[in-house]
Amino acid sequence: MVQGQITYSLPVDTIDLLDQVIRTQTGQEQTDINISRISVSTYATIPNKNAQGRPIQVWINRQSGAKYPINGNQPNTTNTNTGIDPPNINVWPAPDQSGFYTFVYWRMRRMQDAGNGTNTQDIPFRLLPCLVAGLAYYLSLKIPGAESRIEMLKLSYEEQWSLASTEDREKAPLRLAPRQMFMS
């Protein structure tokens, strides 16, 4: 991170961040420190966004990654001279030194286009049954004479979606312990 810099761009295909830390130093001396995610309304209420220190909060501005003409804000329909509106993060406070802090994150990203269909598809193998079942169901809605199979295909799709949607979840155990406070 750069001293005094608040905003940092993320890769254009970033959907969201799953977790993030601030890493100090490198090698044997490195330390990862949690950085709290805040909402846009919380970020907006920070009176001095240029204050410097170790970053402790981050607002993730989930832009679309869409292309716009460099000279305006309208979607590009005729001009090939475009700018990209990437997702970005705003940290607070701004880093108080350059090269000491590193923003480390784990992200969700958009699937990549398969191009002309000869490229390898960017679909996790565990989600392929859901993709195939969903395609079969939606095609049955369009194909004349397939009405008798719609209900069966819908049930199959819903079952595969249920399996797929729970596949990429955190599988670490959760342990909750009450904190006891004693008052005298």
Answer yes or no: are the C-beta atoms of 21 and 33 closer than 8 Å. Answer: yes
DSSP H or E segment with residue 19: strand 14-24
Peptide bond into 93 cis (omega under 30): yes
Per-residue model confidence as pLDDT tens digits over 67-114: 666 655 555 444 444 566 788 999 999 999 988 999 999 998 887 777
Prediction pTM value: 0.66
Count how many domains the chain has: 2
* 48/73 same-domain check: yes
* 141/93 same-domain check: no
Residue 120 within a domain: no
Domain enclosing residue 79, as ranges: 7-109
Which residue matches tokens 């970053």? 55
* 65/147 same-domain check: no
* 98/131 same-domain check: no
* 93/135 same-domain check: no
Average pLDDT over residues 163-169: 81
* 104/134 same-domain check: no
Per-residue model confidence as pLDDT tens digits over 53-72: 999 999 999 886 666 666 55
Task: Give CA–CA dist 121/125, Å, rounded.
Answer: 10
